[in-house]
Structure 1
Amino acid sequence: MQVDTGRFPLNGDWWYRPGPVEERFLQEDWGGPSEAQGWQLVHLPHDMTEMPLNGFDERRLAKKGCYVRDIATEGRADSQLSCAFLEFDGVAVSCRVWVNGRPATIHRGPYTPFSVRLDSAEDEKVRVLVEVDSAEDPEIPPFGGVVDYLVFGGIYRGVWLRHCGRAWIDDAWCLPRPAHEKDTWEAPVHVTIAAIEGRAAELQALHVVVRLFDSGGDHETALAEASVSASQEVSLLLALASPRLWDIDAPYLYRLSITLEDAAGRILDTVEKRIGFRTAVFTPQGFFLNGRRVFLRGLNRHQEFPWSGYAMGPDAQRCDAQLLKRELGLTMVRTSHYPQSPHFLDACDELGLLVFEEIPGWQHVGDAAWQEQSLRDLQAMIRRDRSHPSIVLWGVRINESQDNHEFYRKTNELARTLDPDRQTAGVRYIRKSELLEDVYTFNDFSFDGDTGPLTAEPGRVRHKSSPLIANPSRVLPSGPAPYLITEHSGHMFPTKRFDQEERLAAHALRHARILDAAMGDQRIAGCLGWCAFDYHTHKDFGSGDRICYHGVMDMFRIPKYAAWVYASQVEPRERIVLEPASRFAKGERDAARVLPIYVFTNCDAVDFYRGSRLVGRFFPDRRHFPNLPHPPVVIDDVIGQLIDDEGWPARDAALFSRLAGKALAHGPSRLSPTEQIQMGLFMLRRRLSMRDIEVLVMRYGMGWGARDETVRLVGIVDGKEVIERRFGADSAARRLVLEPDLLVLDTSSDEEWSSTRIVVRAVDQYGNTAPFVFEPVHIELEGPARLLGPQWISLQSGAAAFWIAAGRNEGRVCIRAGVPRFEEPAQVDIEVIQRSYERHEPGN
């Protein structure tokens, strides 16, 4: 008889009811959940408490809820030959599970997977009941102290039904490495076999077959076999000559298939992994990927979303990875401060985005029991993720905790036992901290000065006592060691996307300056900013509305100016970036100053036009940003060639433009004594009064009364115009637009629900976001999808976003969004395609 094996998604047809488990739910004669009893049908992932965007009491998150799912078992193979597991990717914070009314397991911790055996009772139908407790248990990391983020309760990741034989593959992983022979690599595949209790003695003649396929899965490139017995660990070695390497620019993935057979040749279990051939080493001279030094330019990511908390399906997780890699041009992301979605990590593998993954926690280290739980979290994280080529560093220390020699000796020892080839790190903010890990990872908040960078000379830090970054030799406990900056900025300069332009630009310049300083020190492997997205937090942190506005993007993944600092560092052949840190309004900045204008771009130069006339060509500021691949372009003159209308000699025209530009940037009082004398002599030569000077500055500098307010920025690469952006001081909101990340959603009855983000923007006549529109937007949906969150949302500085989730049925979804000021609503259509059923094997 053939054994029925495979891994199947099981996310549809769950029932949810708020409140703790009741005794009647566990009785054999309970009729099951129904709407009449207060149950609702849900599709996983699911969040138990839909919280408002801000201004809420986080204590509302502490609650219990129950989930029930009936699983049909008719038609399964002989129970003597097979068994089944229910695998949970993530439940927050802790849970109890019953199978047919009998206790099955207790799991503690919101971020690690666990499984439940279903075949202990020979029933035709299996009923699974899960009681979730989302309270912040002080005995479970990251809790016990204050925590600068929130954990949202529910079965918030996917659930799988796994069928296998009476013996199965309990664990399998592979991390290839170069062999001693030139151009030859070896891929050691480590496999652990488990069996039904009491049956191991009968299963002594098992066979493991390992096959390696190319990325398309058509061509077998290597094969290895071994005889094993139940409850045994075995390592098989695959050899491959000149494999295609996994790299950040070309992330080539091989498919690894591992099959377990019994003596009769029946397949008992099959596991598949995707692996990459690469080397990744941190040294005191930097980080090296495949022997090439790569500076790690990155950000930290929290995994939460507005209204849905942690409960977001695979599409949103993948879109986050694509945004970080493709839109922001990052080379690394840190999963702060916990293991994140398998879908996110899969996407990092596919995109070539390097990952620093760390155990759950925030500053607090608890008692011995708490530490044992943390060690279990670490073990589960590494066992789950150690085949991912994107992961290059294990975080084995609680974020920003104090030294704890015995605890961190154990975490390092455990990580090196489970994965001897990957380096360890521990994030701290302490200088001269004990280094038990391989890499000293440091949250560097040295820079606390220069609160008004737009009022200083471009690129200059006013407070010399506040360095941009710390000197590694003054941070490391002794001697050179691999060194990575894991946080900077963040709480030092919280910035809302709806803040005044000067603060948004100052926020961006902090990131640019610190990134430039880090890139200029060869001892620093990389620099990860805090953080990618704004996030929810406790009352002890943030801006009082339960949000930390620390991201380079807001919670909707809409960029602030700081995002363009990172995006502009990619090469022009990959993507052209041209983003000014200005709205080009005439009174937005203090004292109506309009200069300087920082343009974050990877162009060689920027031509600046006002109306139809060229002001001048401006170049990257390599003087103040010598280490960035693409420094910002600083426009420090809005008059330029326009003053030629006065017919002055070139010397006088250049002098007036330069001095007027400085006055427009910093105020007339900032002119030096020498510059004041120069202006006085110029006025004598031209027979001009102070009133005349003011009129000239208003006419050519401020453009008061101008009929054509158009500002054009034209990017130049290799001497050619490659991109153009238009703006204007006469900007006025004209219409709403909807911009979905995805136009087609795949769905099936038991997959995690498919979703897409839809950005809604009020745009002006130039196609730019109208930044001062804060009106409510009404959202309507027609078709096989549902809205995640409320029907009414408010624009924030002209933009917001919402997510929709596809249902089971295929068809067209029409989304409309409207505000009273616009006659016509914005509309976009999304196609939902019913996907044919596919069998799933475990990923990485």
Structure 2
Amino acid sequence: MNMQKRVFTGLLLLMSVAAMAQSEPLQNIAGRKILSLNGRWNYITDPYENGYYDYRHKPYDASASGAGGFYDNKKARGNDLVEYNFDNSPTLRVPADWNSQSEKLTFYEGTIWYRQQFTLAPAAGKKYFLYFGAVNYEAHVYLNGKKLGMHKGGFTPFQFDVTDKLTNGLNTVVVKADNTRHQDEIPTINTDWWNYGGITRDVYVAEVECTHILDYKIQLDKSDAKSIIGFVSVAGNGKGQAVSVLIPEAGIKTQVTTNDSGYAAIKLTPKQLSLWSPQNPKLYQVQLVLNGDTLTDKIGFRTIEVKGQDILLNGRSVFLSGICLHDENPLIPGRLRSQGDMRMMLQWARELNCNYVRLAHYPHNEEMLRLADEMGLMVWAEVPVYWTISWQNPETYANAEKQLSDMIARDKNRASVVVWSVGNETPVSEPRNVFMGKLVARVRQLDNTRLVSAALEVHREGEKAYVNDPLGEKLDLASFNEYAGWYWGGVPSNITKYAYEVKYNKPVLITEFGGDALGGYHADENTRWSEEYQAALYRNQFVLLGKMPGLRGMTPWILCDFRSPRRQEPYYQDFFNRKGLISETGKKKLAFDVLKTYYQTMQQQYNTGNKK
């Protein structure tokens, strides 16, 4: 084996070991005993990755001693040469992206090193985990100068067992966060949203018992709405553990015992149950008790299924009146930072008469799903398998499946989630069909209580638009994006002559349509970028879509204008995608009321049983 190959093999092994150092994230992290590390973190911008590679571009991690690197965090002694200093470095807020916190970092893609210090007195007989809600995109994590591991994926949680690595007193966490885009990653190089880098979600140190509840699922049985089923998983000495399951308001108090793997199935028969829906977003307090340690969650119970061309929520046909959302605040640049930001977005959706939102194009903050539970909004949850992925790369597929599995693991107890989406606008080819088909199969393996779908594309021949993607055979919904009146079809008044032909006898869900409008710019209905053009596009879309049998919902693109490096026209766009119904100043455009009125009409039809 030549030296280059030997080094490469060694690096792969090192990365594998680092990734394996992660432990399965705790379910319901906010319900645990936690120390928050949120706040101001010192940071060093490192475009040449001097803190990770030596001058021969060899990772310090790969050296026998592990010496060097910013993660080592040593103070200079005597005449030592130390070319970084966290103490004298500026700070960034965590959780938050870096792009919106410094003008110098607006377009920055690369590595930034973060450092936080905290004081802790670890208790004997306890386990400790360092938990990250999300870091975009590749994170290398160090504690007290020692590497814990590496994680890829910008939108899902990960954690490390630090029980034996904490010191009694001052502890130092260093994170190398790198948001560089790569062809073989998920998402890939080409996207249409801002690549916000950094530690974008909460960071905690969680304290649990050595034997503790790791995971659980408690949901209504899809085949028997009178039963609640699921499981509980216990880590540590999990064998033969008695776990009490209590839902006091539903008259449930029972006990299950874990098997040799620390797993116990749950089946409950409630005395009474009020089903969750947008009209009745009922949540029950669920308690799991292990050796006196209580973990509490709020969970709603409902069924979602398809029958022919109907979507049935709790056995009743429903029209999904929706809108797409990005995890971005239109008023303050950057990712949504707080529950207040998230509630504002969902409240706008509610004002629009929505009962449903599509959280595009990646897993959003866990708090967003919990708020959707509380506010009665159904959710389409998606992974960033977007546009043109490296379909034949096994590592790319493994990454996509891991992000999908992590999303489902985190949000499987949220009643609001009714659809798991495996991707958006992926072009048809045999390798892609295999890749996406495997993701669909993985969803069905992990969760049979929800629908699985994807945002497909259409192809056009003359005045006909066809939905015949072979992936559609595997999905529960005939769901697709179409942009008549903007990217094709001419002016809004022209699009009503088109017709759609959908191959599948399934509920039809339009996952995107729309057009750009600069808030405050007014002209006639045929002038692009005007609010009048966007409003006319929506009115004519309703005529076009109204001819389609099986139409059972839509999520137009998009609730709010959002930032995108692809959108460079200096006056109308200025690095914004302007398809929002709300501008970056929070002003509602004319199309907002057009869609609001349409949804009011559709809900009246379904509530009175007069659906078309």
TM-score band (shorter)? 0.7 to 0.9
1:550-699, aligned counterparts within 5 Å?
Answer: 550-569=579-598
8 Å Cα contact 1:511-1:529 kept in structure 2? no
Sort the Cα spacing of 1:104 and 1:302 in 2 relative to 1 into closer, same or farther, 3 A.
Answer: same
Amino acid corresponding to residue 34 of structure 2 in structure 1: R
The answer as to 2:184 corresponding to 1:139 is yes
Amino acid corresponding to residue 437 of structure 1 in structure 2: L
Amino acid corresponding to residue 469 of structure 2 in structure 1: S
Partner Cα distance (1:570, 1:177) in 2: 30
Partner Cα distance (1:329, 1:388) in 2: 21
Amino acid corresponding to residue 204 of structure 1 in structure 2: K
- Percent sequence identity over matched residues? 22
Structure 1 residue 515: Cα displacement: 3.2
8 Å Cα contact 2:109-2:179 kept in structure 1? yes
Per the alignment, residue 270 of structure 2 pairs with 240
Structure 1 residue 451: Cα displacement: 5.9
Deviations 1:321-363 (A, max 9, x none): 11111x2111211111111111211111111111111111321
8 Å Cα contact 2:561-2:580 kept in structure 1? yes
Q: Which one of 362, 379, 403 corresponds to residue 377 of structure 1?
A: 403
The answer as to 2:541 corresponding to 1:514 is yes
Deviations 1:193-227 (A, max 9, x none): 222xxxx4xx534221111144xxxxx63122122
8 Å Cα contact 1:69-1:128 kept in structure 2? yes
Q: Which one of 230, 233, 236 corresponds to residue 192 of structure 1?
A: 233
Which secondary structure state, in structure 2, belongs to the residue aligned with residue 240 of structure 1?
coil
Per the alignment, residue 322 of structure 1 pairs with 347
Sort the Cα spacing of 1:51 and 1:162 in 2 relative to 1 into closer, same or farther, 3 A.
Answer: closer
Sort the Cα spacing of 1:17 and 1:213 in 2 relative to 1 into closer, same or farther, 3 A.
Answer: farther
8 Å Cα contact 2:300-2:415 kept in structure 1? yes
Which secondary structure state, in structure 2, belongs to the residue aligned with residue 121 of structure 1?
coil
Structure 1 residue 149: Cα displacement: 1.3
8 Å Cα contact 1:91-1:111 kept in structure 2? yes
The answer as to 2:372 corresponding to 1:342 is no
Partner Cα distance (1:279, 1:518) in 2: 27
Sort the Cα spacing of 1:71 and 1:293 in 2 relative to 1 into closer, same or farther, 3 A.
Answer: same
Sort the Cα spacing of 1:489 and 1:102 in 2 relative to 1 into closer, same or farther, 3 A.
Answer: same
Q: Which one of 469, 478, 484 corresponds to residue 433 of structure 1?
A: 469
Per the alignment, residue 239 of structure 2 pairs with 204
The answer as to 2:69 corresponding to 1:69 is no
Per the alignment, residue 57 of structure 2 pairs with none
Per the alignment, residue 415 of structure 1 pairs with 443
Number of aligned residue pairs: 528
Amino acid corresponding to residue 222 of structure 1 in structure 2: I
Structure 1 residue 376: Cα displacement: 0.5
Q: Which of structures 1 and 2 has the bigger CA Rg?
A: 1
Amino acid corresponding to residue 433 of structure 1 in structure 2: D
Partner Cα distance (2:165, 2:494) in 1: 73
RMSD: 3.0
8 Å Cα contact 1:177-1:277 kept in structure 2? no
Structure 1 residue 284: Cα displacement: 3.2
Which secondary structure state, in structure 1, belongs to the residue aligned with residue 428 of structure 2?
coil
1:9-158, aligned counterparts within 5 Å?
Answer: 9-19=36-46, 20=49, 21=51, 23=68, 25-27=70-72, 29-30=74-75, 37-50=87-100, 60-74=107-121, 76-78=122-124, 81-121=125-165, 123-125=167-169, 126-144=171-189, 146-158=190-202
Structure 1 residue 291: Cα displacement: 2.2
Structure 2 length-normalised TM: 0.79
Per the alignment, residue 443 of structure 1 pairs with 481
8 Å Cα contact 2:386-2:423 kept in structure 1? no
Partner Cα distance (1:99, 1:33) in 2: 20
Partner Cα distance (1:368, 1:36) in 2: 38
Structure 1 residue 447: Cα displacement: 4.5
Partner Cα distance (1:33, 1:324) in 2: 50
The answer as to 2:205 corresponding to 1:177 is no
Per the alignment, residue 610 of structure 2 pairs with none
1:435-474, aligned counterparts within 5 Å?
Answer: 435=472, 436-447=474-485, 461-462=493-494, 466-467=497-498, 470-471=499-500, 474=501
Sort the Cα spacing of 1:429 and 1:5 in 2 relative to 1 into closer, same or farther, 3 A.
Answer: closer
Which secondary structure state, in structure 2, belongs to the residue aligned with residue 224 of structure 1?
strand
Sort the Cα spacing of 1:179 and 1:304 in 2 relative to 1 into closer, same or farther, 3 A.
Answer: closer
Q: Which one of 482, 503, 507 corresponds to residue 507 of structure 2?
A: 482
Which secondary structure state, in structure 2, belongs to the residue aligned with residue 557 of structure 1?
coil
Moved more, 230-239 or 514-523: 514-523
Partner Cα distance (2:567, 2:531) in 1: 24
Sort the Cα spacing of 1:495 and 1:375 in 2 relative to 1 into closer, same or farther, 3 A.
Answer: same
Structure 1 residue 128: Cα displacement: 1.3
| 5+ residue gaps, structure 1 | 215-219, 454-460, 572-601, 603-626, 631-844
Per the alignment, residue 311 of structure 2 pairs with 287
Amino acid corresponding to residue 148 of structure 1 in structure 2: D
1:349-368, aligned counterparts within 5 Å?
Answer: 349-366=373-390, 367-368=393-394
Q: Which one of 190, 194, 204 corresponds to residue 160 of structure 1?
A: 204
Deviations 1:488-519 (A, max 9, x none): 123xxx21113224331231132133235545
Structure 1 residue 234: Cα displacement: 1.6
Q: Which one of 520, 523, 528 corresponds to residue 498 of structure 1?
A: 520
8 Å Cα contact 1:300-1:531 kept in structure 2? yes
Structure 1 length-normalised TM: 0.58
8 Å Cα contact 1:61-1:135 kept in structure 2? no
Deviations 1:32-77 (A, max 9, x none): 9999844234442122222799xx997x321321222223222x43
Partner Cα distance (1:121, 1:355) in 2: 39
Partner Cα distance (1:77, 1:191) in 2: 26
Deviations 1:523-559 (A, max 9, x none): 1111221111111113367766221111111134321
Per the alignment, residue 428 of structure 2 pairs with 402
Structure 1 residue 115: Cα displacement: 0.8
8 Å Cα contact 2:42-2:86 kept in structure 1? no
Partner Cα distance (1:433, 1:532) in 2: 27
8 Å Cα contact 1:193-1:230 kept in structure 2? no
Partner Cα distance (2:157, 2:425) in 1: 21
Partner Cα distance (1:278, 1:356) in 2: 15
Amino acid corresponding to residue 209 of structure 1 in structure 2: S
Per the alignment, residue 564 of structure 2 pairs with 537
8 Å Cα contact 1:365-1:398 kept in structure 2? no
8 Å Cα contact 1:330-1:566 kept in structure 2? no
8 Å Cα contact 1:394-1:422 kept in structure 2? yes
Partner Cα distance (2:34, 2:87) in 1: 32
Deviations 1:753-785 (A, max 9, x none): xxxxxxxxxxxxxxxxxxxxxxxxxxxxxxxxx
Q: Which one of 257, 276, 286 corresponds to residue 287 of structure 2?
A: 257
Partner Cα distance (2:96, 2:338) in 1: 9
Partner Cα distance (1:33, 1:259) in 2: 51
Deviations 1:294-325 (A, max 9, x none): 21121111112355422512210121111111
Which secondary structure state, in structure 1, belongs to the residue aligned with residue 588 of structure 2?
coil
8 Å Cα contact 1:569-1:629 kept in structure 2? no
